[in-house]
Amino acid sequence: MNILKKTCIRAGAAVLALSLAGGCLVGSSNQVTRSGNYISDSTFNQIQPGKTSASWVLATLGPPTSKTQVDGGSEVWKYAYTETRDSSGYVFLLFGGNDRQVTTGNAFVEIKDGVVVKSWRA
C-alpha cells in the first residue's frame, strides 16, 4: 500500500471517529452552590415593615446568622450567605477552561417590639 493511500485511510478514520463522538466535541457545565442563610428575592419581598412579625421572619427565614442590639431598643438580624458559581467548557483536543466566581451577600431585618421596622440587602 502506498503512503498516500495509508494517509487517506488514517484521515478518513479520524474523521469517522470524530463524527461518531458527536456531542463529545464541545461541552460545558455550570454549577451554583450556596452556603449560609440565602434568602430568595421572592421570599425577602414578602417582608412588610410595620406589618410582618418577628415570629414570621424566624419561621420563614430561619435563625439569623447574627443578632445585634441597636439604639432605641431595636435588634438587627443578619442573614449572610456565600454563592459559588463554577463554569467549565471544552473544545475536544483544542481548548479547555474553567471559571469560579464567589460572591457574598447579606440580608438584614430590623425588629422592634416584635415587628419588622426595616429590611434591606447589602
Judged by average pLDDT, the poorest of 52-61, 71-80, 87-96, 104-113 is 87-96
**Residue 59: what are its φ and ψ, rounded to 5°?**
-70, -35
Q: Where are the domains of the chain?
A: 27-121
> What's the pLDDT band for 16 if we cut at 50, 70, 90?
low
> What's the pLDDT band for 120 if we cut at 50, 70, 90?
very high
**Over the stretch 29-70, which tens digit does the pLDDT of each residue have?**
889 899 999 999 999 999 999 999 999 999 999 999 999 999
Identity of the residue numbered 66: S
Cα–Cα distances in Å, from 50 out to 31, 46, 61, 100?
38, 12, 18, 40
